[in-house]
Chain A
């Protein structure tokens, strides 16, 4: 690895650092030209702002360059394979972006009279139809802002249903392999979290599960396919057991993309399930949101689904915002993440029922292909076919002195975004690889070759490089301890604003 020569500018060809916008300030400069100020009285008087805000002045060309340069420091699906397990980084069709921006769709105000919003209401109704048909469930609450809020919506419906029966109950069973949002959500809903162990084949330990059942159990939160990338074989029995004690079955639908068009969760005995539209239906991840987490409900929980909802009456669509009853209350402002609804429905319309089934099949095929081609070097954590993602432990790195994180960082130098690491927590040094259905066989073969090569290098004793990696990125490994011990969460001017104003 020869060190490149230092440049005068500090840049390396197309790679360059970019100062904070605040460090590029020219007071008075602006990137917008405003309409003239109308001649009308001021009505704020002595409550007008007295101190400067502190924002920098940049012209439009500077702003464009600033953000384009920042963008070049990011990895992206549009650039390459992004096998981040449990996140489903699949291709984001640009048609969906165009449709979300159509005049008459992207610019409709949520508080317009409903007579002027029939089209967007019909669009919501159409998406709701797709979601209930694909899941085989009775109804859907469209409003939750993201998957985690969808979980909360579902668990609140469960609690509301128990309370309506006059027995709030206390415990919620959550497998120890669950995503962290599950226990956090149960706690917000006032439940105690009771953890269920996993078996040696990565599934719910049925004996332990049955032993924990009792009249104070409100329900179960189970991800299916689960966080180990496996289908819960006993799921129908699990549903029967939880219903048998009067509890409800919440399914974390994060991994619905593995079974969409193949299996309807309603056929499994599920009472509530959120759907991450950015995963299964490919709305863009956007650097971490916005998400959207509609929740489908069984007949038993349908009366508790929150408002607003769209209904059709005499050929007209109506947004029901208020209604007496036992429903879970409003989840967020207005009517849900409508812009994400547009993209998801465009994705569904493009794929159709036949394409969606193919989505699940190809996602599962690709994951199993990666598993098969790596298993001699990186044995899967659990036996048998996986679903849309393959989970391996760090056993393949035993004795090399290299840990999962080091392998991930070396992958970055090789031009790949790493897989998910150290999740789920129940597998030591976990690596969760989710290729998704939108990758070619050639891309998978290239990735497999790199993974194999890295493991071989690790075994050959190149630990020193792995500990240094990545070496070719805009930044090397960052000091997270320093960041957390002395948090610097905003830029501050060298001269504090208050002093400058004096």
Chain B
């Protein structure tokens, strides 16, 4: 878990070899409430840091999920299509969104680690 990083928009990203896995934080799923649908990027799509990569819907809200870094999508979590509740049950585990090949790993440098993110959450609300 040590190399998991977080954004201020509550996405997490974890690099393993040449691939990174992206999802939303447990805090974010709690704020959204019951997730009913996740619109994930298709494999092969080029996403750009800060641009919309996915959309997550709860009964009462819809939120854009922005790419924490630029790269090419290499996998999407098909399990969310049938069971979007996975995001509520395990936002930072089985409820991951997509994987991608990073085009510039240094883009992660200014993201928060788990401790910094926990401190950041304390400043909210």
Contact = CB atoms under 8 A, between A and B. Distances in A.
Contacts of B84: 485
A71 interface: no
A485 B37 CA distance: 6
A480 B60 CA distance: 9
Contacts of A481: 34, 36, 59
Interface in A306-338: none
B85 interface: yes
A96 B32 CA distance: 46
Contacts, number: 13
A480 B84 CA distance: 14
A484 interface: yes
B59 to A, nearest CB: 5
Nearest to A422: B60
Interface in B18-66: 34, 36-37, 57, 59
Q: How large is the interface on B (under 10, 10 to 19, 20 to 34, 35 or more residues)?
A: under 10
A357 B96 CA distance: 59
Q: How large is the interface on A (under 10, 10 to 19, 20 to 34, 35 or more residues)?
A: under 10
A484 B57 CA distance: 9
A479 to B, nearest CB: 10
Interface in A444-502: 480-481, 484-485
B45 to A, nearest CB: 23
A267 to B, nearest CB: 40
A481 B58 CA distance: 8
A481 B84 CA distance: 11
Nearest to B57: A484
Interface in B79-111: 84-85
A485 B86 CA distance: 11
B79 to A, nearest CB: 13
Contacts of A484: 36-37, 57, 59
A480 B58 CA distance: 10
A192 to B, nearest CB: 15
A485 B35 CA distance: 8
A485 B84 CA distance: 7
Contacts of B36: 481, 484-485
Contacts of B37: 484-485
A46 B123 CA distance: 71
Contacts of A485: 34, 36-37, 84-85
A397 to B, nearest CB: 19
B84 to A, nearest CB: 6
Nearest to B84: A485
A480 B34 CA distance: 10
B95 to A, nearest CB: 14
Nearest to A481: B34
A481 B85 CA distance: 10
A429 to B, nearest CB: 13
B67 to A, nearest CB: 21
Nearest to A485: B36
A147 to B, nearest CB: 23
A484 to B, nearest CB: 4
A485 B89 CA distance: 14
B77 to A, nearest CB: 16
Contacts of B59: 480-481, 484
Nearest to A480: B59
Interface string A417-456: 0000000000000000000000000000000000000000
A502 B99 CA distance: 44
A484 B85 CA distance: 11
Contacts of B34: 481, 485
B29 to A, nearest CB: 13
A480 B35 CA distance: 11
Contacts of A480: 59
User: What 3 pairs across the A-B complex have the smallest Cβ distances?
Assistant: A484-B36, A481-B34, A480-B59
Given A481-B34, A484-B37, A485-B37, 4 more contacts: A480-B59, A481-B36, A484-B57, A485-B34
13 contacts: A480-B59, A481-B34, A481-B36, A481-B59, A484-B36, A484-B37, A484-B57, A484-B59, A485-B34, A485-B36, A485-B37, A485-B84, A485-B85
Interface of B: 34, 36-37, 57, 59, 84-85
